[in-house]
Structure 1
Amino acid sequence: MDYFQREAFGASRWSYDSLKNFAPLNARVQNHLKKVYLTLCLAVAASAAGAYLHLLLNIGGVLTTLGCVLSIAWLLATPPYEERKRFGILMASSLLQGATIGPLKGVLNMFFLPRPNHRILLTAFVGTALAFGCFSAAAVVARRRQYLFLGGLLSSGLSILLWLQFASSIFGASTAAFNVEIYFGLLIFLGYMVFDTQLIIERAYHGELDHVRDALNLYVDLVGVFVRVLVVMVKNAAEKEERKRKKRSS
């Protein structure tokens, strides 16, 4: 995702005068946003289908993760004028991503909860959708480029998060480090929702109407938030179950 933003900044020709432009969205940008959000909804539906396929066939794992990464690389390497092909690749990568996320809840339940709680999955999805809607709407109705300054801060925060994960893999993960990675990562991806939305708007103003690429950026943000919200909710549910168990035993 960070690669997408750096590529966009390098490819766009902006001037100081354009940075001071706070005009409302024109019809072309509005139509582009409609395509982006429609494509994003279809990608989310494909992910839900992938997660359901995992429940039926148990296909989620290393192969689906590798397939998702290769599909995204294939999408980025495909020319923008091959719109149908790129859309199909996006749907395939989303389905593979859904199958990859599918085993996550089972693993979390295994480590945190004594018994499965399927309502957590729906609650995490609804919470992620509400957060995405609120933050995206804030970016759309805000003045143009008001939140683009977040790009450098978010990139730095993402680098810190990667270094924390690298250090945890070498020196071992502690509870404090785990909490920092989850909550700090959640904050980073929520910020990217705002930043990417305004970046999409600026790309559209400069004639870059690639709705498949823009939907991919938002999809990555959405998945990043969903996974962390799910982990937080399962962790909180486990702590609640532990308190109830201690209360009953006492």
Structure 2
Amino acid sequence: MDSFFQSEVFSSTTWSYESMKNFGPINASVQNHLKQVYLTLCLAVAASAAGAYLDILYDVGGITTMIGCLATVVWLLATPPSEQRQRFGLLMAASLFQGAIIGPLIGFAVDFDPRILVTALVGSGLAFGCFSAAALLAKRRQFLFLGGLLGSGLSILLWLQLASSTFGGSTALYNAEIYFGLLLFLGYMVFDTQLMIERALRGDRDHVRDALLLYTDFAGVFVRVLVVTLRNALERGQERRKKKRQSP
């Protein structure tokens, strides 16, 4: 799902050689745009939390919410930027559906140990903050050159997911998909942040679209950090049980 988000939005982004040569500071109007983007991102994350909570209570996640999520994202991208209220509502709906989709994973983590969810959320937040800050504070826009590399990496991730679903996933393939996807979306955090800045400097200040980009990055990182954290906790629990059985 997150790969679809990134491929749809990434394919619609453009930049020029002139933007790559732009090394100037961020002006006040761009800073205001960034504030709107990050506020919208926070609301999208809150909508996802509400969707996950609804799934835990009423088990609403499934094929219906997946189709709803895809439909609202496509609808959002097809809606002209002048319809900001409608596009904002579509973003919140897509985030709600996405939260319901990952609700079973979150519910399992909460049932096993609520600290795992907190650890994954804090870790994802710290990673997002650090990588976004690195992109915002960079004097040069050299991170725009990551676009081609990340696009190729996204194609590899899609093929890994397709191979896993078609031929059955081995442990090695699963690990490659999780950790490679994590590195990929961390890279997209930097690239999308600088791409957002360059568009804003050229007067293209669509805060809903930019928030969708960053939300996709955050969701991709959060799910993978949660999976890694949960799996490590399960392995530690199994090791403790083995030690107890072996002890006299």
User: TM-score, normalized by length of structure 1?
Assistant: 0.92
Q: How far has the Cα of 1:214 moved from its partner?
A: 0.3
Q: How far has the Cα of 1:54 moved from its partner?
A: 1.4
Q: How far has the Cα of 1:146 moved from its partner?
A: 1.7
RMSD: 1.5
Residue 10 of structure 2 corresponds to: 5
Q: Does 1:219 align with 2:215?
A: yes
- Gaps (5+ residues) in structure 1? 110-114
What does residue range 64-143 of structure 1 map to in structure 2 within 5 Å?
Answer: 64-106=65-107, 116-143=112-139
Q: Does 1:149 align with 2:145?
A: yes
Residue 41 of structure 2 corresponds to: 40
Residue 112 of structure 1 corresponds to: none
Write out per-residue CA displacement over residues 76-135 of structure 1, whole angstroms, 9 at most, x where no aligned residue: 1111001111111111111111111111234679xxxxx722221121111111110110
Query: Which of structure 1's runs of 4+ aligned residues deviate more than 3 A?
Result: 105-109
Distance 1:85 1:164 in 2: 35
Change (3 A) 1:32 1:171: same
CA contact (8 A) 1:61 1:103 kept: no
Q: How far has the Cα of 1:59 moved from its partner?
A: 0.8
Distance 2:113 2:25 in 1: 45
> Helix, strand or coil: the match of 2:127?
helix
CA contact (8 A) 2:40 2:207 kept: yes
**Identical amino acids, percent of aligned pairs:** 65
CA contact (8 A) 1:53 1:59 kept: yes
CA contact (8 A) 1:90 1:212 kept: yes
CA contact (8 A) 1:147 1:195 kept: yes
Moved more, 186-195 or 166-175: 166-175
Residue 200 of structure 1 corresponds to: 196
Change (3 A) 1:65 1:4: same
Moved more, 55-64 or 237-246: 55-64
Residue 21 of structure 1 corresponds to: 22
Residue 55 of structure 1 corresponds to: 56
- Gaps (5+ residues) in structure 2? 1-5
Distance 1:174 1:107 in 2: 22
User: TM-score, normalized by length of structure 2?
Assistant: 0.93
Distance 1:178 1:208 in 2: 39
Residue 170 of structure 2 corresponds to: 174
